[in-house]
Amino acid sequence: MVVGEISQERDLVIIGGGPGGYNAAIRAAQLGLEVTLIETEDMGGVCLNKGCIPSKVWTHAAKKNAELVHLKELGIHTGNTSFDIKKLMAYKTKVTDQLRSGVEALCKANKIELIEGKASFLTEDRIGVENGHQFDVYVFKQAIIATGSTTKYPAELSGNSSRIFLSYEIFELPHLPEHLIIYGSDYISLEIASSYASFGSKVTILMREDEDFLFDKSINKELKRLLKRKKIQVKKQVVIQAVEETEKDIRITFADDKQTKQTVEGTHLVAIGEKKPNVNELGIGRLGMKQTDKGSIVINHRMQTSLPSIYAIGDVTEGPLLAVKAIKQGKAAVESIAGGNPEVDLTFLPVVAHTIPPIASVGLTEKEVHDHGLVARISQFPIGSNGYAMISNQRDGFIKVITDTRNDLILGVHMIGEGAVELSAVFVQLLEMAGKEEDVIFPNYAHPSMNEGLMEAVESLIGHAIHITPQKQ
């Protein structure tokens, strides 16, 4: 290792080229700052290369595969259909390659200096970057840590088997698993379950002790009903006791919700692991940077760490480990550095799952409303009562709206049904802008469209949905 003799001067150094890091870098360039972005692996980070994007390629293909039956009734005849996961893997690589080169091109066009290497802080204003035998030292005015997180195997499992995968790694399996066991219940678990079931795998979900799906209770209930219909088994309150691998499969022994000993045999297991912040090799310990017990970097409302010249954003900080948070914080951090006074408010963060049908949830759940002691009006509009849903024959699910009886304010919107993810922008807008029942009822919506379903969900709060029978409102 050759230690650079002279330290080079930089204005803003960003460590990590994931969504948080590259959004911060480009916004910084837009604000006139000189930016250096350090990434040790692929630009775009886990989200673009392994997580968010590949998983949405999977869920997108799964949706299209599930629609094949519907094509027949539309008069679109296909021959025998088959699914080739290797082609999907190639398509995924094409998409991620394009997105990654897009990000690289944007960085170049924004005159962002890209440095490949592993960064660690030497002092509050000096950082070392190691790349093979090269070691360069940079003096910076400000730095932003955007190194993200790494998923770890649950303690009760390990990856010492070609049949066990950790979260998104399952997308690297070059054939369809005959029977995929999923150990987890978050949106990643659900997207994997929904995708592989659509492709033709048998799927079993093992839900940990005291876990439920992460949405409003009525959405969780409808989700379970739909999973059951797709023959996806859900085992609750699972405490794994043993994992054995035979030549042909993998056997999990566990206690279930009745504390009975059970076994499930599958060909493959995917374990949804916990994400841990990537902070250990940054040298922040020796600088005395404040961290939580779990290692997350503590930041203030300006994304500043306890060392004023160093900021941190995304998965290395506390809060939800989602790209949308990292992006928001990344932009806010540089706006703050550039002298602005940005605000990051994650109150109305949409929680989504690209299942079939998809789920989107914004604002308070029914339980949260009760926990807050609020008196609420609650309605559910069945997707099947919407005209456009009948046209597209995607009738599962409902839109649930919760409002405050005192002032008609919308407190939460929860949807399971076709189009939920894109419609979530409406839910977000309504909550951010303190929308009331009247704000949904008053406007005009395209007819026929699922938008009318949202309107009717709100009309139903006062028994005024046209397409629900009086008894059911």
Residue 131 CB, nearest approach to its own copies (Å)? 27
Residue 346 CB, nearest approach to its own copies (Å)? 7
Using CB under 8 A, pick the residue from 3, 69, 242, 390 that binds its own copies. Answer: 390
Considering just the CA atoms, what is the radius of gyration of the chain in Å? 24
**Of residues 56 and 236, the one with the C-beta less far from its own copies:** 56
In our burial notation (b when 16+ CB lie closer than 10 A, e otherwise), range 413-425 reads bbbbbbbbbebbe
Using CB under 8 A, pick the residue from 345, 373, 375, 407 that binds its own copies. Answer: 345
| 8 A C-beta contact, residue 215 and residue 359 | yes
In degrees, rounded to 5, the angle at the alpha carbon of residue 451 between the alpha carbons of residues 361 and 71 is 95
Residue 418 CB, nearest approach to its own copies (Å)? 9
**Of residues 30 and 306, the one with the C-beta less far from its own copies:** 30
Asked if 416 interacts with its own copies (CB under 8 A), we say no
Asked if 175 interacts with its own copies (CB under 8 A), we say no
Residue 217 CB, nearest approach to its own copies (Å)? 21
Query: Please, which of residues 353-382 interact with its own copies by CB under 8 A?
Result: 360
**Of residues 277 and 435, the one with the C-beta less far from its own copies:** 435
Asked if 463 interacts with its own copies (CB under 8 A), we say yes
Asked if 197 interacts with its own copies (CB under 8 A), we say no
Query: Please, which of residues 246-275 interact with its own copies by CB under 8 A?
Result: none
Q: How far is CA 360 from CA 10, 272, 413, in A?
A: 42, 21, 8
Residue 307 CB, nearest approach to its own copies (Å)? 27
Q: How far is CA 341 from CA 33, 79, 337, 429, 450, in A?
A: 16, 59, 9, 22, 38
Distance CA 302, CA 299 (A): 7
Q: Active-site residue among 60, 179, 447, 464?
A: 447
Distance CA 18, CA 103 (A): 10
Residue 167 CB, nearest approach to its own copies (Å)? 17
Residue in the structure block whose two tokens are 């949409």: 350
Which secondary structure element, helix H or strand E, spans residue 428, and what is its range?
helix 420-432
Asked if 139 interacts with its own copies (CB under 8 A), we say no
Using CB under 8 A, pick the residue from 188, 421, 457, 458 that binds its own copies. Answer: 421
Burial class for 155, CB neighbours closer than 10 Å (0-12, 13-18, 19+): exposed
Asked if 144 interacts with its own copies (CB under 8 A), we say no
Q: Which stretch binds its own copies (CB under 8 A): 137-145, 200-208, 302-310, 387-395?
A: 387-395
Cis-peptide, bond into residue 357, ω within 30° of zero:
yes
**Of residues 160 and 444, the one with the C-beta less far from its own copies:** 444
Using CB under 8 A, pick the residue from 11, 101, 102, 340 that binds its own copies. Answer: 102
For every residue of 301-341, DSSP letters joined together read: TTSB-SSTTEEE-GGGBSS---HHHHHHHHHHHHHHHTT--
Residue 23 CB, nearest approach to its own copies (Å)? 5
Binding mask 285-324 for its own copies (x = CB under 8 A): -------------------------------------xxx
Asked if 23 interacts with its own copies (CB under 8 A), we say yes
**Of residues 250 and 362, the one with the C-beta less far from its own copies:** 362
Distance CA 123, CA 424 (A): 44
Using CB under 8 A, pick the residue from 13, 21, 27, 205 that binds its own copies. Answer: 27
Distance CA 82, CA 79 (A): 9
Positive or negative, the CA dihedral 168, 169, 171, 175 is: negative
Residue 349 CB, nearest approach to its own copies (Å)? 5
Query: Please, which of residues 423-452 interact with its own copies by CB under 8 A?
Result: 423-426, 428-430, 432-433, 435, 439, 442-451
Asked if 151 interacts with its own copies (CB under 8 A), we say no
Residue 355 CB, nearest approach to its own copies (Å)? 13
Rounded to the nearest 5°, which phi and psi values hold at 450? -70, -20
- Please give the size of the binding site for its own copies, defined by CB under 8 A: 99
Q: Where are the beta strands (DSSP E) in 173-267?
A: 179-183, 202-208, 233-245, 250-255, 261-266
Distance CA 432, CA 184 (A): 31
Burial class for 260, CB neighbours closer than 10 Å (0-12, 13-18, 19+): exposed
Query: Please, which of residues 42-101 interact with its own copies by CB under 8 A?
Result: 47-48, 52-53, 56-57, 60-61, 64-65, 67-68, 70-88, 91, 95, 98-99
Using CB under 8 A, pick the residue from 252, 327, 333, 461 that binds its own copies. Answer: 327
447 catalytic per annotation: yes
Using CB under 8 A, pick the residue from 16, 17, 18, 19 that binds its own copies. Answer: 19
Give the residue from 263, 210, 213 showing the smallest Cα distance to 240: 263
Give the residue numbers annotated as catalytic, written as ranges: 447
